[in-house]
Amino acid sequence: MSAILEVRDLATQFDTLDGVVRAVDGVSFDLARGETLGIVGESGCGKSVTALSILRLIPPETGRICGGSIRFAGEELTTLPEEAMKRLRGHRISMIFQEPMTSLNPVLTVGTQIAENVVRHTGASKKAARERACEMLDLVRIADPRRRLDEYPHQLSGGMRQRVMIAMALSCDPQVLIADEPTTALDVTIQAQILDLMVDLKEKTGTAIVLITHDLGVIAETAQRVVVMYAGRKVEEAPVEALFDDPQHPYTRGLMRAIPRLDVDVEEGGRRPRLQEIPGLVPRLTQPIVGCAFAPRCELATGRCRATAPPVVDIGGGHTVACWETVR
* Chain residues in the site for other proteins (CB under 8 A): 42-43, 157, 159-160, 187-193, 195-196, 214-221, 240-241, 244, 254-256, 258-263, 265-267, 272, 274-278, 281
Q: How far is the CB of 271 from other proteins (least distance, A)?
A: 9
Nearer to other proteins, 107 or 281 (CB): 281
Nearer to other proteins, 43 or 79 (CB): 43
Q: What is the dihedral of CA 255, 183, 237, 281, to 10 degrees?
A: -40
Q: How far is the CB of 317 from other proteins (least distance, A)?
A: 15
Judge contact between 203 and 237, C-beta under 8 A: no
Between the alpha carbon of residue 48 and those of residues 104, 111, 180, 222, 277, the distances in Å are 19, 28, 7, 18, 25
Nearer to other proteins, 150 or 277 (CB): 277
DSSP state of 271: B
Burial readout 20-51 (b: 16 or more C-beta within 10 A, e: otherwise): ebbbbbbbbbbbeebbbbbbbbeebbbbbbbb
**What is the end-to-end Cα distance of the chain in Å, rounded?**
30
Nearer to other proteins, 7 or 219 (CB): 219
Q: How far is the CB of 202 from other proteins (least distance, A)?
A: 13
Q: How far is the CB of 215 from other proteins (least distance, A)?
A: 7
Nearer to other proteins, 68 or 239 (CB): 239
Q: How far is the CB of 64 from other proteins (least distance, A)?
A: 27
* 3-state secondary structure at position 22: strand
